[in-house]
A and B are shown apart, each in its own frame.
Chain A
């Protein structure tokens, strides 16, 4: 890849001025040529470099799948990780390629901008001596005017057709040179510059943006505010601090979803009360494709589920109620979760027995089957049922180690500190039912609340990116569909012919498409006809 390494450096290096213009021209064209080839090589490298990101799970896309990959391939994964296989698009080698590509782009576009600016102000060149060598050529066109007037008339016609035109007097007569299609290069430059802008915009968005996730359960007392500890997960850009986040609080008052008979979701809609900047709570609604747009954050609805509400009555008659989200594991929303009561069975005189903490683990089925299967039959709550197993002992929540809120502490169960006190088969609870355990304590399945998973995100540059890409697209279309072409007319005084007085002009025309342009022949023919017939 020597081309890759040496190109951008040499392109920008100042060089001594050469007196020989031919030599400079050669050098220039050589440089142009190599740079285009470099761009090609780099484009290819970029395409190839993007492939592993679709083969290996990516941390930026799905953290859990990466963790899974590590568990399944304990040897291979760390080795791959050293090559950033799980962070392809944030890896130094990916960055190296696109930075080189964009350096090359700058090195290529800047001189072209200068050149194009010059071309835009330059006059169309003088007609070639031998027009019949041009790809398109016509001779013997006659006009009644003398050459000067005819040339003026031709120039007028051309200008009306938006050609850049220049008429010149020569010793023999007149020539008219015209050129058209500068928008091609203009569009091409806009396209490449817009791409530069988009890349820079993406970079800025990464620096100054942030995103977070939050699982929000329906209910007045389940709301949250935009503070980092209240998010389940958050990633701030390198230039964002916790204090920069916009201030808002929200709680969900209602969540509705409907489903197809196949179980595919048909619609979701969340109703929330939102307070921004400490103001009053106001009601807002949002759905899957219509996010909640707050000042400084966009909130998307990306998932949903059920949170069973469970009330535990302990040995001393004290009650505690917990609303716990159960995470859906399939399309029909078979959901798994745990309910933990660390502060129950506390003696009224304050004696705490860590062996008497309570935990329950199981699945919630919004629509239980008649056959007692542990899989939900439908995602809506047609026949909600909860299958639970009860555990008593030390939940291990005080150990300081962060544990999952969706599973009981396996170590404590293995050590026997946390013991299963229900039978082999899980206990079946329906809403309103109560389960009396061996020690007389009870667990009541009060009902369920819905929950929504929210993605909260701020991308400060996204509007500029959109504008940039539209400019780029327009530039691209100009670049591809406009054609640069030249035409020339040589206007000479007509020689006296038999029976005709001298006067009038004979005209020869030539045309040169400067890019592959199959329609040019027609255009040239039409133009020549127009000149010949002297009408527009």
Chain B
């Protein structure tokens, strides 16, 4: 089963990679798809009934076709990803989040599922596919190369129901935060494009949907994940630490970085609620939050030594 999981993992990365290539291909063809445009309009007038989408045009452009293939590959990748995670859990006979490799695997799975969910509900976001699949490929690639750990059971400190609450909520919220960076980055690119910037990253903005929609999507993803993260990191985590180590908070490197991420995301929500702070500034704060999450996922495990035993790489 562990073997199967590893093979599925390789296939997952390949599928995401292929999806990424197709998303890039759609980009390269340059023509903004009709579906995309229509759906975009629908997004802008949020809440408009579904029937308003015009009939799909009789013949699809090449870009469109490639885009649809990309979505298909993306969904295939998600299915493989799910398979990888489930077989991993079966192989270990427990929840698949007992070490850093599994933790990243599960976090990315949540991120991918949220992304596909958004993609199905709002096809217009397909233009973010390149960024989303890139993020997934990088995360999973790093997990497989840097953090791979053979299947093993949990150390006793992890056998607690608080651990289940703690880790599952953090995995779900981190997954959403990680996806949240995609609309955040594309918003910044699109905003730059709209402001007349025509240098490299902004040129990507030509085919990206409405900046306001992206900005709102960014906010909603973050606003959804923030309380969940608060619960996981600042309530369930300390509860578990109290039962396991005797203290609810001890400034262990993992705890420090979870605290930092929490503060940065709180700052993002603040900045967004402050009228005098520009939306681009606020979005940059969300991106700083993403960097702190990455630091917690990879950096802390690799550079510092702490009590969080499942954090050890390899």
Contact = CB atoms under 8 A, between A and B. Distances in A.
A264 B158 CA distance: 12
Interface string A222-261: 0000000000000000000000000000000000000010
A51 B260 contact: yes
B247 A457 contact: yes
A465 B162 CA distance: 17
A289 B267 CA distance: 34
Given A46-B263, A266-B153, A473 B231 contact: yes
Contact of A300 (B152, B231, B246): B246
B172 to A, nearest CB: 15
Contact count band on A:
35 or more
Contacts of B58: none
A459 interface: yes
A472 to B, nearest CB: 8
Interface in A39-56: 39-40, 43-44, 46-47, 50-51, 53-55
Interface in B211-248: 216, 219-220, 223, 226-227, 230-231, 234-235, 239-240, 242-248
Given A54-B300, A211-B246, A265 B267 contact: no
A519 B47 contact: yes
B242 A50 contact: no
A462 B264 contact: no
A69 interface: no
B159 A289 contact: yes
A225 to B, nearest CB: 19
Interface string A447-477: 0000000011101001001100110110011
B153 A40 contact: no
Given A54-B300, A298-B246, A289 B152 contact: no
B223 A480 contact: yes
B251 interface: yes
A463 B274 CA distance: 34
B156 interface: yes
Contact of B248 (A46, A54, A459): A459
A521 B267 contact: no
Given A54-B256, A54-B304, A473 B153 contact: no
Contact of B226 (A300, A480, A516): A480
Given A40-B274, A43-B266, A211 B256 contact: no
B271 interface: yes
Contacts of A473: 227, 230-231, 235
Interface in B267-307: 267, 269-271, 273-277, 292, 300, 304-305
Contacts of B243: 289-291, 300
A89 interface: yes
Given A300-B244, A469-B234, A469-B235, A264 B274 contact: no
Contacts of B275: 33
A65 B246 CA distance: 20
A302 interface: yes
B221 to A, nearest CB: 12
A522 B48 CA distance: 8
A289 B263 contact: no
B251 A60 contact: yes
Nearest to A455: B246
A33 B304 CA distance: 39
B83 interface: no
Contacts of B234: 469
A302 B271 contact: no
B155 interface: yes
A479 to B, nearest CB: 9
A401 to B, nearest CB: 31
B157 interface: yes
Contact of B239 (A39, A40, A287, A466): A466
Nearest to B46: A518
Contact of A288 (B156, B235, B247, B305): B156
Nearest to B249: A202
A52 to B, nearest CB: 9
A429 to B, nearest CB: 31
A209 to B, nearest CB: 10
A58 interface: yes
B155 A470 contact: no
B160 interface: yes
A264 B226 contact: no
Interface string A292-303: 000000111010
| Of B152, B226, B246, B263, most A-chain CB atoms within 10 Å | B246
B253 interface: yes
B251 A89 contact: yes
B153 A268 contact: no
A37 interface: yes
A465 B234 CA distance: 11
A281 to B, nearest CB: 23
Contact of B276 (A33, A266, A469, A525): A33
Given A298-B246, A516-B219, A288 B263 contact: no
A466 B234 CA distance: 10
A480 B264 CA distance: 16
Contacts of B253: 54
A457 B227 CA distance: 30
13 contacts: A33-B274, A44-B264, A51-B256, A55-B304, A61-B251, A288-B244, A289-B243, A298-B246, A300-B244, A300-B246, A459-B248, A473-B231, A473-B235
Task: Give me the 9 closest cross-chain CB pairs, A-B, nearest first.
Answer: A300-B246, A521-B47, A455-B246, A289-B160, A54-B256, A54-B253, A43-B267, A47-B263, A288-B156
Given A60-B251, A61-B251, 7 more contacts: A40-B277, A43-B266, A44-B264, A47-B260, A265-B155, A469-B234, A476-B230
